[in-house]
Amino acid sequence: MRSTRRDWLRMAGGAGLASLQSRLLAGFEDWFQPATTAPDEQVLITACGICDSACGIRATVKDGVVRFLEGLPDDFQGQGKLCGKGAAGAGFLYDPDRLKYPMKRTNPRKGLNEDPGFIRISWQEALDTIADRIRSYRARHGPESLLFLTRPSPDVWVRFMRALGVVNRVDHRDECFQSDLVVQRYTIGGKPWGNDFENSRYILLFGFDMVTKTKLAHAHGVLAAKQRGAKVVLFNPEFNTTARLADEWYPIRPGADLAVALAMIHVIVNENLFNQEFVDRFTNFRQYEREIRDHFARYTPEWAEGLSDVPAEAVRRIAREFATQGPAIVPMHKKALAANYMNATQLAHAISILNILAGTIDRPGGRYFARTVSIPGVDAIYPPPAYPRVEGRRVDGTDKLPLVREVECGSFSTLADGMLNKYPGMIKFAFWNTYTLLGFPHPSQMEEALRRVEFTVVMDTLPTDTALLADIVLPSVTYLESSDLVPREYSARTPQVVVRQPVVPAMFETRSIGWVAIELGKRLVPEYFRTPTGEWISPAALLDERVKRAGLGSSFAEFRSVGIHTRQQPFTPRTTFATPSGKCQIYVPEFAARGYDPLPVWKPKAEQPSAEYPYYYLTFIPAIHRRNSTQNNPILHEIMPTNAAIISRTLAHRLGIREGQMVRIRSRMGAIELPAHLSETLRPDCVMVAHGFGHRTRMLSLAGGQGVRDGDVIPSRAIEEYVAAGNFGGAGCIMDAVVNIEPL
């Protein structure tokens, strides 16, 4: 491809240059894609690993150094482009603070203010030590004494955990899309990762800064829809980037998204505006019509207005437009740092119903199930011996949320409570991969819980706060040094796979989590890590086998030179759904059978403003950062080095707070002190703080000591609160906090 362009330039000569210039020109129907490469440069295709959009990358490497990262033209998700995080990706690779080799701690005292006294050890020693620890804790205290916080979890790692009979495997999904995952399993038979914005005419967003703070794939879709005349409506307490691009924006009261969604269902059902054909053929609406009509009769727009501050006539009109001016869609990829309140499981159900009533489930303009290339996992390639039964207590208490367990999820928000109060001393061993304390509500409580764990392993690219508490740290590769096959999921009406390949060799002694799984597996559960012919499973052979069986080529080496595979196939909408009844279930009898609400009911968020804590506390992910993992990247750090308390000017005036003045934000959980930033873009009863800052460790030379942890004022939870509140999807309540604000 690259030589073609150079040749063409050479052949075209002077006359060609003029036409080249016209193509260079902004315009821009046909954007010029740079494709020339200098002779000493090499271009490699890979996939970004910062967020799950995993946009395709063209990496220019010069003299073995990554020179530039740009988008891969044919990729469905990035569509030939990268966001700011992706463009700065080389900064992760060349971060001088990276963990370079395995280390063990020599200072037995653990804490964020303790120097761990790390000393370098060999991989051999690290793996042998970890394996010994796991072996002895498992034998003496059972598998329930092992805690694994790992994501991404490649299939060999999952095999390793299953072979050990690990019961306590927790990841962050409760703070993200877990309630969505739990609910939609029963409403439509799985989580539809795809949003067909391009063909949508009406995009309704609840607390979702879709355009900028999530995935490039989503931003492309929404903008394309806008350009084709779709209407975008947003309910959000902040006038954010999406609000600026939306046709209508309503500064909704935090936690009241559910009220508006219920009232919209009320209008659509009451006025019979739903998609008759879809609802009659593919849903259980008629079967439960009386229950449904009776149930939603109470949720009038007037009722919703009182809770949400969204005018009743607006709710009514939007409901009518949504139902009749479709195809319409309510995306809900993630509620992380969007509408993630105690009532978010109910909200997930209500939103799912809105999509069902619009008749766009797996239809053009709606939420669809990704059409992906089937890439066989390790269990399909090398069938394992039977796995042991998973037995033991869930330290995060989610055995009390059986539907959460069905999707093999857990709960970050209740983990510390379980470790400290419910089952003190139960967890002896913890293995962390990429997660940090900052990802938890009330991180100091999690810190305390982790300090009490006898032996902790942290695998990461960087020396995070969690690494400070580790007994052994393992250096991880970055995504730019990894190998994988990355199917498109967010934009996949037809299947597409992009390669992930090392654009430079892995630096220092860094390894992948998959390699660690196999090495630990050999030591602990060897019968699970042999091929049928008796050799050890090797990551390279496994990858080759995957490529072959997925029909991507004869070997990984072959596929990595191609880089991208697109399979053209027609999009055939589903007519049966993977629910127990085979239909889309508005009324979910399985919820009723478990004692949950079969239809979404109004519940307030957990924390309500009071005399002591009069303001809503909101948190957000800035567009330029990814969770708490990017703050040490030099370019991203320079663009946004720290966080501030965003406060409305009206409120600041009332409280006597000036721009830049230090303020103390206090909740029942704790307090943070940070400078105020005044803005007109936020409700005057709210304060908002960016997530991802407040790393304590000075081993992060840029991010360490910068900003505050937004989580320090967010309550962690006990599982009983979830059960009592009907939060059976285990939504992590990241936005559910109220605070006091005082100038300092």
The residues of the shown chain that bind another protein, judged by CB under 8 A, are: 5, 9, 17-18, 20-22, 24-28, 31-32, 34, 36, 38, 67-71, 78-79, 81-88, 90-91, 211-212, 216, 219-220, 223, 239, 241, 244-245, 251, 623-624, 634-639, 648-650, 679-684
Cβ-based neighbour number of residue 394 at 10 Å? 25
Nearer to another protein, 90 or 307 (CB): 90
* H/E run at residue 19: helix 2-24
To another protein, the closest distance from the beta carbon of 60 in angstroms equals 9
Instruction: For residue 176, give both structure tokens.
Output: 């993200």
Burial 189-198 (b: 16+ CB within 10 A, else e): bbbbbbbbbb
Nearer to another protein, 642 or 650 (CB): 650
To another protein, the closest distance from the beta carbon of 34 in angstroms equals 4
To another protein, the closest distance from the beta carbon of 638 in angstroms equals 5
DSSP state of 204: E
- The closest of 215, 219, 207 to 340, measured between CA atoms, is 207
Nearer to another protein, 313 or 638 (CB): 638
Nearer to another protein, 246 or 674 (CB): 246
Nearer to another protein, 76 or 288 (CB): 76
Instruction: For residue 320, give both structure tokens.
Output: 């009518």
To another protein, the closest distance from the beta carbon of 328 in angstroms equals 22
To another protein, the closest distance from the beta carbon of 561 in angstroms equals 23
Nearer to another protein, 27 or 385 (CB): 27
To another protein, the closest distance from the beta carbon of 512 in angstroms equals 25
**Cα 180 to the center of its chain, rounded Å:** 12
- The closest of 544, 502, 533, 539 to 518, measured between CA atoms, is 539
To another protein, the closest distance from the beta carbon of 251 in angstroms equals 5
To another protein, the closest distance from the beta carbon of 139 in angstroms equals 50
Nearer to another protein, 446 or 682 (CB): 682
To another protein, the closest distance from the beta carbon of 286 in angstroms equals 42
To another protein, the closest distance from the beta carbon of 705 in angstroms equals 15
Amino acid at 202: Y
Contact 331, 210 (CB under 8 A): yes
Burial (CB count within 10 angstroms: exposed 0-12, middle 13-18, buried 19+), residue 650: middle
Longest dimension (CA), the chain: 80
**Cα 522 to the center of its chain, rounded Å:** 31
Cα-based angle 328, 252, 83 (whole degrees, multiple of 5): 65
CA distance 715 to 626: 22
CA distance 728 to 347: 12
Phi, psi of 668 (to 5 degrees): -65, -10
Nearer to another protein, 227 or 533 (CB): 227
To another protein, the closest distance from the beta carbon of 643 in angstroms equals 16
Nearer to another protein, 517 or 702 (CB): 702
To another protein, the closest distance from the beta carbon of 24 in angstroms equals 6
CA distance 342 to 254: 11
Q: Is the dihedral of CA 256, 172, 546, 531 positive or negative?
A: negative
- The structure tokens 């690259």 sit at 2
Nearer to another protein, 474 or 682 (CB): 682
CA distance 467 to 431: 11
CA distance 476 to 268: 51
Spatial neighbors of 136 by CB under 8 A, at least 6 apart, are none
Contact 415, 396 (CB under 8 A): yes
Any alpha helices (H) in 240-383, and if so which ranges? 241-245, 257-270, 276-282, 289-296, 301-308, 312-324, 344-358, 378-381
Spatial neighbors of 415 by CB under 8 A, at least 6 apart, are 170, 395, 396, 440, 446, 449
To another protein, the closest distance from the beta carbon of 301 in angstroms equals 20
* H/E run at residue 530: none
To another protein, the closest distance from the beta carbon of 61 in angstroms equals 13
CA distance 635 to 22: 33
Nearer to another protein, 51 or 427 (CB): 51
CA distance 572 to 551: 21
Nearer to another protein, 223 or 381 (CB): 223
To another protein, the closest distance from the beta carbon of 121 in angstroms equals 33
CA distance 464 to 296: 48
CA distance 357 to 323: 7
To another protein, the closest distance from the beta carbon of 520 in angstroms equals 36
**Alpha carbons within 13 A on the beta-carbon side of 606:** 28
Nearer to another protein, 78 or 154 (CB): 78
- Specify the 3-state DSSP secondary structure of 306: helix
Nearer to another protein, 187 or 212 (CB): 212
Q: How far is CA 463 from CA 101, 434, 589, 629, in A?
A: 11, 10, 48, 11
Nearer to another protein, 270 or 681 (CB): 681
Phi, psi of 30 (to 5 degrees): -120, 90
Nearer to another protein, 37 or 270 (CB): 37
To another protein, the closest distance from the beta carbon of 636 in angstroms equals 7
- Specify the 3-state DSSP secondary structure of 238: strand
Nearer to another protein, 324 or 679 (CB): 679
To another protein, the closest distance from the beta carbon of 296 in angstroms equals 29
- Beta bridge partner(s), residue 58: 45, 70
CA distance 340 to 349: 13
Nearer to another protein, 85 or 605 (CB): 85
Helices 123-141 & 513-524, crossing angle to 10 degrees? 60
